A and B are shown apart, each in its own frame.
Chain A
């Protein structure tokens, strides 16, 4: 087993991996950019090394600097987390050349899955069901037109190197094809440096369901069941659950078998995720494989009782999978909410800043994987994911009710977060009935929110007065008694009063 691992990431996932290292008796080396000196992952690590400026290209994406820290510190392996360098085949290759184990698949498997068209070709050969479409990039408009006629409208144009909805266009009719093709190509070129675009048939009201796989370096591959990830906003996952409300035991077995076939066909090792689109008849199609640990891995951990990061490390250290497929059982139900620093009242615009008050939920069936603390200033430079709140229950209804209870206990003060969005989703009847497809959230957000009532307005009014009285008392006593920070608080109240005075 490794004695020391470097974590080439930040935020909640870096903290998650450091915890796993400590649980396995492994020393954890953190790297951090200029603006992350006070971040939680630096606080939790055994060693921490400054690697550059805030811009990710000069720190968390700088392969040379990270390999250099690994060599200097004697780290035997690197865990890339998700995002940043996690799906960078060149990084995996450079690690291998430097004699540092990359905790993930080898570079060849990553490269194959990094190109959507090459992956499709390989998977079709292996008998994996793919969405009808082309497995090669479109060379000309004429070719695109011919293919489109064959497949039929509506269809999707997708970037071969794509992800996150970039370089993706919905084409409803022949007239829309030309402008859509041009804009998809130029967007793909800008986002990925590669303008290759291919065609897929549009699956109406699809669900996005993915299967977790684990492969050791001795040829053993298992799947750990599915995750339902249909709740998305702008092609970004917002809430995930396991198991999927529409997948039964038989469908799980079939999807799992296909996922294992995908992993084997790619020569895959370590943890990976095979994504499927599922149509209204519950037919499923291979979409892509994510060659990393997913943000939403905790829901699988809760329903299987396994620790995916422990297993990733053990597999990378050359150990065999300690169980077989028939030992994997799905028990209970888990739902994850991605807590982002963004403002639901202002088009989900990022809202970095200082966290003035943090109250986190606990109690039965609650897991909170977080990269924040009270007093921390969320930097403006990175993805605004703050934490993940995961609810677990013996069935879906219990998981939902526990999560709703936990959300009521949760407060991230001083910055805007999307916590209220989850109250809305979890309280929605269609969600509770397990109906959502990938269009669900956009539809929900277009409906007007029913006011949640004001039965506690009296209590709020009284509390407003008490806070103000305590503020002025503590300002008078120079911070000896009452609320803190005395001076700043009092002046804020004055400011509020002044603004109010102006409005009169």
Chain B
């Protein structure tokens, strides 16, 4: 398998193969001696040239975080062979911005109506979680095309609250 991995905006070309006896690995064309043990779901023990690393994976929304020691890295990864397929059908959301709930909570107030003009940074919806109210703001200037949020309803992280075009 070949992966293009991006760790905190630095790109790596990673080649990994799983054999019956273990793993072979090369990073940016350089062979790396590697031993792998999956400790539990989300936790790896890596021996890279006999240096020991405990790597923990965490998924927050659509982001992948990898913890190595006390450092957190945001990882993005793709398989270059499938990239072309992924690009087809993309761009569906071009021009419009979706406002999503950053955390689970309750919609307590709508600050605008559909078809209203909003400025960038203007509050659109107020979501309350754990006794704190948070204004979800429009990322751009535009027209509120759709208000999917309704006052009093519960929302999950990532739920679309409104679409601004």
Contacts and interface: CB of A to CB of B under 8 A. Distances in A.
Contact of B7 (A460, A466, A496): A460
Interface in B109-155: 129-132, 134
Given A350-B103, A380-B106, A407-B70, A460 B55 contact: yes
Interface in B89-112: 90-91, 102-106
A452 B71 contact: yes
Contact of B69 (A383, A408, A415, A500): A408
Interface residues of B, number: 65
A496 B62 contact: yes
A457 B7 contact: yes
B27 A458 contact: yes
Interface residues of A, number: 59
Nearest to A493: B77
A464 interface: yes
Contacts of A470: 38
Given A482-B38, A497-B77, A464 B83 contact: no
A499 B57 CA distance: 19
A235 to B, nearest CB: 15
A459 B77 CA distance: 14
Nearest to A413: B58
A193 interface: no
Given A454-B71, A482-B38, A493-B77, A357 B87 contact: no
B58 A463 contact: no
Interface in A80-104: none
Interface in B57-75: 57-60, 62-64, 66-73, 75
B106 A457 contact: no
Contacts of B134: 349
A497 B79 contact: yes
B103 A357 contact: no
A349 B103 CA distance: 9
A462 B77 contact: no
A357 B68 contact: no
Interface string A367-400: 0000000000000111110000000000000000
Interface string B31-61: 0101010100111101010010101111110
Interface of A: 341, 343, 346, 349-353, 356-357, 359, 380-384, 407-408, 411, 413-416, 420, 423, 452-454, 456-470, 473, 482-485, 492-493, 495-502, 504
Interface of B: 1, 3, 5-8, 10, 12, 14, 16, 18, 23, 25, 27, 32, 34, 36, 38, 41-44, 46, 48, 51, 53, 55-60, 62-64, 66-73, 75-79, 82-83, 86-87, 90-91, 102-106, 129-132, 134, 157
Nearest 3 CB-CB pairings of A with B? A350-B130, A456-B68, A413-B58
